[in-house]
Amino acid sequence: MDFWSIWALLSALLACVYFADGVELTFELPDSAKECFYQEIQKNVSATLEFQVVTGGQYDVDVVLEAPNKQIIYKKEMAQFDSYTFTPEMTGVYKACFSNEFSTFSHKLVYMDFQVGDEQPLPGIGEHVTVMTQMETSSQEIHKSLNTIIDYQTHHRLREAQGRKRAEEINERVMWWSILETLAILFITIGQVFMLKNFFSEKKPSQMMNAK
């Protein structure tokens, strides 16, 4: 499975999975390119930016998180993965930029999860003034557990895709190294055959007279 197949698979599995406020997606970051994403966040509402480079190059990107007043609140250079949680001091549009400008030939596949605030409760739960029934409580707990499972599955797919890509790269390097070794052995063998043939070839009488 090549780079584009992995990208298509992950895009189908992970792209555009929206939460109450926030977004989770996987995107391609070409060489010498920069991609920015914008999210409106209210003041004092906790938010988390999580990312991971799935494939490409040394699996690293530059990440900058910028507040509405252009202040940089988070910056990471040549990072493979990280998670940053913050509480905004002002309401506005926050910008998260991923840069691959330091790379001149390596495309990257980047996973990003930008969550804002707490997840909305299940429909019908939280609307009662009275205490929730046991069934409602169980439903809420199951819902939380399923979200945790989904999160684990997402990271498992990311690790699987990253490991597959690395294995394919190693396999390709071993193949080319084997081809070069085979060509080198053939070249040396042919050279030795000609050298031995020259040593054991009989000289003609004219050549012997000239040698004297």
Residue 169, pLDDT score? 78
What does each of the 212 residues of the chain score in pLDDT, given as a tens digit?
A: 454 444 444 444 443 333 346 678 888 899 889 999 999 999 988 899 999 888 888 888 999 999 999 999 999 999 988 889 999 989 999 999 999 988 888 888 888 888 887 665 555 555 554 555 777 677 777 777 787 787 777 777 777 777 777 787 788 888 989 999 999 999 998 888 888 777 777 655 555 455 55
At residue 11, the pLDDT reads 47
The residue type at 130? T
Looking at residue 120, what is its pLDDT?
Answer: 59
CB 126 within 8 A of CB 66: no
What whole-number distance in Å separates Cα of residue 129 and Cα of residue 208? 117
- The torsion defined by the Cα of 167, 168, 169 and 171, in degrees rounded to 10, comes to 90
The predicted pLDDT at position 59 comes to 84
| Rounded CA separation 38/36 (Å) | 7
- Sign, Cα dihedral of 181, 184, 190, 194: negative
Question: Beta strand pairing status for 61-66 and 92-99?
Answer: antiparallel
Does residue 62 contact residue 99 with C-beta atoms inside 8 Å?
A: yes
Distances in Å between the Cα of 202 and the Cα atoms of 191, 193, 198 are 19, 16, 9
Domains plus CATH for the chain?
3-167 (2.60.120.380)
Give the distance from CA 41 to its chain's centroid: 26
- Cα(94)–Cα(65) distance, integer angstroms: 7
Exposure class string for 40-70: b at 16+ Cβ within 10 A, else e: ebeeeeebebbbbbbbbbebbbbbbbbbeee
- CA dihedral sign, ordered 48, 54, 56, 57: positive
Q: Alpha-carbon distance 68 to 90, whole Å?
A: 8
Chain-centroid distance, C-alpha 143: 28
| Two structure tokens written together for 130 | 């009275």
What is the C-alpha separation between 92 and 70, in angstroms, rounded?
Answer: 11
> For residue 84, what pLDDT is reported?
92
Q: Which residues pair with 86 in a beta bridge?
A: 47
Residue indicated by tokens 């003609």? 204
Would you call 3 helix, strand, or coil by DSSP? helix
pLDDT value of residue 10: 46
pLDDT value of position 109:
87
Q: Please give the pLDDT value at position 99.
A: 93
